[in-house]
Amino acid sequence: MIQSMTGYGKAVAEIGEKKIIVEIKSLNSKAMDLSTRITPLFKEKELEIRSIVTTVLERGKVDLCIYLDSGNTTNAQSINKVVFKNYLQQIKEIAESENLDMPQDWFQTILRMPDIYSTTQQEEISENDWNTLKKAIEDAVNALVEYRKTEGAALEVKFREKISNISDLLASVNQYETARVSKIKDRIKNALVEHVGADYDTNRFEQELIYYIEKLDINEEKQRLTNHLDYFIKTIEDEKGQGKKLGFIAQEMGREINTLGSKSNLAELQNIVVMMKDELEQIKEQVLNVM
Rounded to 5°, the CA angle 219-224-227 comes to 130
Assess whether pLDDT exceeds 80 at residue 77. Answer: no
> Measured between alpha carbons, how far is residue 105 from residues 95, 118, 290 in Å?
14, 22, 29
Measured N-to-C along each axis, helices 177-195 and 202-215 cross at an angle, to the nearest 10 degrees, of 140
Assess whether pLDDT exceeds 80 at residue 122. Answer: no
Q: Average pLDDT for residues 132-158, to the nearest whole number?
A: 94
Q: Which of 32-41, 160-169, 205-214 has the lowest mean pLDDT?
A: 205-214
Q: Average pLDDT for residues 23-50, to the nearest whole number?
A: 91
Judge whether 267 and 230 are in contact, CB under 8 Å: no
Provide the pLDDT confidence category of residue 73 given band limits of 50, 70 and 90.
very low
Q: What is the pTM of this model?
A: 0.70
Q: Average pLDDT for residues 110-138, to the nearest whole number?
A: 79
> Measured between alpha carbons, how far is residue 134 from residues 109, 128, 250 in Å?
27, 10, 40
Rounded to 5°, the CA angle 261-275-219 comes to 40
Judge whether 6 and 26 are in contact, CB under 8 Å: yes
Q: What's the chain's Rg over C-alpha atoms? A: 30
Assess whether pLDDT exceeds 60 at residue 274. Answer: yes
Assess whether pLDDT exceeds 50 at residue 229. Answer: yes
> Measured between alpha carbons, how far is residue 25 from residues 51, 93, 188, 195 in Å?
16, 33, 62, 69
Q: Residue 102 has what pLDDT?
A: 83
Judge whether 246 and 289 are in contact, CB under 8 Å: no
